[in-house]
Amino acid sequence: MSLGEPLLEVLDTLRRQSWEEVEVFHKKGRSRTMQYTLYGDSTSLRQEEGWAVRAGDRRRSFYYAASGPPKPSAFWPEADGSGLRLPSARPGLPWSPPSNLDAPLIGEGEARGFFSGLARELDHELQGARLLSGYLDDGSSESQLASSREIDSHVRHRVASLHLEAVGPSADTTSVSLDVADRDARHFSPAALARRLADLLLVAEKGPTRPRDRGEFILAPPVAVGLLAALSGLWVGPEAEKRSAMLIDRNGRLGSPALTLIDDGRLPGGILEAPVDGEGQPTRRVTLIEEGSFRQPLLAWWQTPSSLKRSSGCSLRPGWRDLPSPSPTHLFLEADPSIRAVSLIQNLSRGYYLIGLSGSPRIDPDFSRFAAPVSGFAIASGRPTGTVARAWLVGSVSALLNGIVAKARDLTFSSIGGGMVGSPTVLVKGLELRQQT
Amino acid sequence: MSDTPFTQLDTAGIARTLSQIAEQPADLADAFFERIEKVELPPADQPPGLRVWRESGLAIRLLREGRTWLAGRDQIDPEIFQDALRRVARAMPRAPYPLPDLGDDTWEEPPEAPEVLTFPTAVSQALRTHHIDFPVNLTVRRHRRWIRVVGTHLASGTESESFYSCDAEMPWARYGCLLDELSHEKAEELARRLVNLYRARDAEPPPPWRGASILGASATAVLLHEAVAHALEADTLAHGGHPEAALGVRMGSRLLDVFDDPSSAPSSVRRSADDEGFPVVRRCLLRAGIVEQPLCDTAWTRRSDRLTAGAGRRGNRHLPPGPRSSHLELIAGEHSRQSLLADAEGGLYLPEADRGRLDPVTGEFVLRFPYGRRIENQVPGALVGPCWMRGRLSDLLDKVTGVGAQTSAAGAGWCAKGGIKLPVWATCPEVRIEGVEIGP
């Protein structure tokens, strides 16, 4: 059955009830999840379906969401609060959906085989290390949005996410975790994931080296992504321009020439690539910072009503229960296709290769300074000479943005706050490492 | 359909249908029916006005030899039931039973919550009585949930929960709480807590302190939730070996008698059966500091006959059950408030904790207090800023040196273990703790 019929029925019903602004959203999805633990596993096959209505006029409005297919006979809540304004349909760029949306979900046997292979590879990488738990979710969804302002959009997604927790061989080691996402669960490589877990465990087990040090820092994608996300107030939302202005130098630069930051809701190959966002507004590629110069913040249509050209479709609506909310779609630091990550490490004479965050970075309210709990390796002459754990990477935000001197080609995304944030491995100067007390 | 959902389920027919997939003697097959409603009043400056979420659905589960298969759906309908059953079946019989009658799944009442609409005004009025004016963006929600579990041998009655959550956002802090009712008293209590946060907003954190400190009932509830309940969940214990091995182990001070009892929770969230349909029990987690019975769901009791089911909770129908606490109780001690404070001169009085975390592998434990007071002349005096309690679980609970004689409902909040959000409740007295570092 087409998604549209019950949805349009609800739209018509509410319009007949004289609501000026009406929007109906309908989403269906199916997913297979496997939860792996040391003592057994569980497999779930979910079929989810739900819908949501926003309706109102200049003085009042309501929001109603329910499971199942849209029903025009629902009990609408009493309209109250502020008025509601919805966006109008706007033309977007031509769009071809990705070709691999129809791949079947991962099978139960495949998922079980994946986890047992990963546990085996982990023990091979670091003898005695154990995979404590894993959560694999492979799902596909389709959604439709229609409104009284001529919006009629249809979007399909395919997302697989994986959460892993592992523990090292020694008795008093802490556990480490890893989160990754891809369009197809079959792209997760047990060998590559085992290596990443083993590196994190090795660092956690060996512990700290120097209490305080400066030098050059190579930030692996998870560390750089965590910092980009924590600093999103500098480039996302209407306040971003004002905040960034405080950090712009006399040459008009916010960061080094290596800093080019982009948000692209239709990023080819991006997990969330779509022609429109959760309010039916066309997605596009927006350059937020270009070679260190601030260009514009990421804005949804209602955040820049007088200049819609500055806006882009960036209202996320992860599920039918969620109200649309502005957020990065695929926000990323542009990679350098000519540089391999390994060559950044090989060319490092003395410094640190930081591979993981053990918590959320802390940013001062005025974006003056930051501190990120990190772990990784000490490097000398391109080779690891020790490990660093329970350490803080600290410095001024300005030093971080201006200290990016090189970046590799390994652009990697993480799922953060419903959107995707990505970065390649980057080389940064001018920061400091401190041991946690 | 009557006011209470799931009363018209053909439980015998459902049980017969489920028996088709429970082919082996030790198999457990059940059907979980769920209805959820959330009504939210967002802060005054945010459209749309009243927000309502209503959902219902079912899940079929098969538990066999340590493995679980689950199929969840967002509608309640015999054919959907049959399809979910097929998804979890390992083998289907050639001649299935007829589809069971699942009753009518229609909501019969409009989504009204007048108490939600008036509560922000009551909080504003209560704030004014403190002669302090500061901006607060208050979100108020009413949560209602009905569930019923039907298995091959067991059918629980319909269980229901109704409670409220409030999130207050201020320029200097955020505060969230769960309430079993919205009343003038609750509005005044919330206002008092917001005023305390306001007054403490610029207070300096205390220097590291290892002497005696008093945890208020609310902070004690968070401590027990993190350090006792999470530590004694069978899946957490399994990180270090078989959960059964915890039985009889000394975990804390002899002063600690801790229970989990969903049947004595506040009346609107009181339960007689868990989310697996098993009768809840008054479970003694710690008796005189010694582990008596961990928190277990059915899957764990199948691995040991010394473990007791009745603490299975589901985040929603799409998630398998897991062992979780519902309503923690710390049995009152002998100390009056004065005697607790008298033995903690110069220490800290910490009325509430806003977050905590236990690393299940290392046993490292942290608890954050948004503010506190220095105990001076046997009363809580000057404000101190945010501080943390850090330590190893094995040391921490042993450091409780006094338990208050007066208990109160306190410390209700959301538990988000494993990303699964569940409301938890507690009834606790104040406790005195010594020799644990509390610092910035």
A72: Cβ–Cβ under 8 A, 6 or more apart, which residues?
A6, A9, A10, A12, A13
Is A57 strand, coil or helix? coil
Ordered domains of chain A (ranges, CATH): 4-206 (3.30.2290.10), 212-435 (no CATH)
Mean pLDDT within A68-95: 91
Sign of torsion over alpha carbons A13, A14, A20, A22: negative
Q: Which residues contact B284 (CB under 8 A, 6 or more apart)?
A: B257, B258, B259, B292, B293
Tally of residues, chain B: 440
Q: Is B303 an interface residue toward A (CB < 8 Å)?
A: yes
Residues 68-107 of A with CB under 8 A from B: 68, 74-75, 77-85
CB of B299 less than 8 A from some CB of A? yes
Question: Are the beta carbons of A45 and B87 separated by less than 8 Å?
Answer: yes
The answer for A 34-53 residues in CB contact with B (under 8 A) is 35, 37-50
Of A39, A44, A60, Cβ closest to residue B72: A44
Q: Any residues with CB less than 8 A from the CB of B15 and at least 6 apart, and which?
A: B150, B151, B152, B153, B155
In a mutagenesis test of the A interface, which of B52, B69, B75, B172 is the best target, namely the one with the most A β-carbons within 10 Å? B52
Nearest residue on chain A to B71, alpha-carbon basis: A45
One-letter amino acid for residue B358 of the chain: L
Please list the residue range(s) of chain B that carry CATH number 3.30.2290.10. 11-199
DSSP B101: P
Among B50, B72, B320, select the one facing A77 at the smallest CB separation: B50
Best CA proximity match to A330, nearest among A426, A411, A222 = A411
Task: Point out which residues pair with B151 in neighbouring strands.
Answer: B30
ipTM (interface predicted TM): 0.93
pLDDT over threshold 70, residue A58: yes
Tell me, what's the pLDDT at A301?
A: 96
Spatial CB neighbours of B191, under 8 Å, sequence gap ≥ 6: B123, B126, B127, B129, B130
Q: What is the DSSP secondary structure assignment for residue B233, as one 8-state letter?
A: B
List the pLDDT tens digit at each of the 440 positions of chain B: 447 899 999 999 999 999 999 999 999 999 999 999 999 999 887 766 789 999 999 999 999 998 999 999 999 999 999 999 999 999 877 777 788 999 888 888 888 899 999 999 999 999 999 998 899 999 999 999 999 999 998 899 999 999 999 999 998 889 999 999 999 999 999 999 999 999 999 999 999 999 999 999 999 999 999 999 999 999 999 988 889 999 999 999 999 999 999 999 999 999 999 999 999 999 999 999 999 999 999 999 998 999 999 999 999 999 999 999 999 999 999 999 999 999 899 999 999 999 888 888 888 889 999 999 999 999 999 999 999 998 888 789 999 999 999 999 998 999 998 889 999 999 999 999 999 999 99
Task: State the pLDDT at residue A100.
Answer: 85
Q: Right CATH number for B11-199 from 3.30.2290.10, 1.10.150.120, 3.90.226.10, 3.40.50.1860?
A: 3.30.2290.10
Whether the CB of B110 is below 8 Å from some CB of chain A: the reply is: yes
The torsion of the CA quartet B216, B222, B223, B225, rounded to 10 degrees, works out to 140
Alpha-carbon distance of B83 to B102, in angstroms, equals 14
CA distances from A371 to A85, A223, A359, A428 (A): 40, 12, 10, 15
Range ranked top by mean pLDDT from A78-82, A327-331, B96-100: A327-331
Whether A206 shows a pLDDT value over 60: the answer reads yes
- The alpha-carbon gap from B420 to the nearest alpha carbon of chain A, in Å, equals 13
Cα angle at B39 between B36 and B42, to 5 degrees? 145
Provide the pLDDT for residue B241.
84
Question: Residue A209's pLDDT band (boundaries 50, 70, 90)?
Answer: low
